Amino acid sequence: MEYVSAMPSSRRDSPPKTKRHASAAVIAAGERALARRDPALRLVIREAGPCPLGGRRHRSHFEALVRSIAFQQLAGRAAAAIHGRLVALFDGTRMTPESVLAIPEVDIRSVGMSAAKTASIRDLAAKAIDGTVPLSGMSRLSDEEIVERLSAVRGIGRWTAEMFLMFQMARPDVWPVGDLGVRAGYALMHGLEVPPTPKELEPLGDPYRPYRSVAAWYCWQAVHLSRGEITPR
């Protein structure tokens, strides 16, 4: 497919104030605003369909973070199998920091979890209990405060924290400039021969405020469309 090579307009609409947790209606408003601002993004929005950010959460914050750790550096099916066996250790009850620390480390390792990931999950549980990572009070923190708190956990870096902000907390204005897919998708949409570096991409997201999470999701879809991995609508 061919994308419009025009760059996003610097003109900013006057969007409604967005809540920290974006509803589906806020995400839909973001799609409309972004389509007006950027002709290249408009085409991807039309072909990829609605952005699912802002949907109902099915996991607790703790469970979502444990899943993120389990999926690090593994193919989807292998990670899903290991994570599924981990969840099964809790016999259908919700995984909590307390229940994780109550299980012997060897049991967590027995489901296929590496020593490093086991240590990360247990460190997350300990820091959730001592308040370093205030899972019940996350909604009161800014995006950057959440990144800072989560980065204190062994094995959780900025990228994992940003994915948590986007997909678990539905924060509408996250711009993960270190993500290779976002950089590649932006380049595809705007006819760039080389993807921008993280430093270069940072200001390129300014025209998308306060909906940069939505723009990032469509950057990923641009890559999928270019590979034929999803069918244009």
* Helix, strand, coil % over all residues of the chain, rounded to 5: 60, 0, 40
Contact 161, 146 (CB under 8 A): yes
> Does the annotation mark 123 as catalytic?
no
Catalytic residue among 38, 143, 173, 179: 179
**Which of 71-106 are b and which e, b meaning 16 or more Cβ less than 10 Å from the residue's Cβ?**
bbebeeeebeebbeebbeeeeeeebbbeebeebeee
Phi, psi of 171 (to 5 degrees): -75, 130
47: Cβ contacts below 8 Å, ≥ 6 apart: 1, 221, 225, 232, 233
- Identify the DSSP state of 17: P
For residue 81, give the amino acid letter. Answer: A
Cα gap 103→121, rounded to integer Å? 12
Give the whole-angstrom CA distance, residue 137 versus residue 139: 6
Query: Between the CA of residue 178 and those of 70, 97, 148, 158, what are the distances in Å?
Result: 20, 29, 16, 9
- By annotation, the residues acting in catalysis are 179
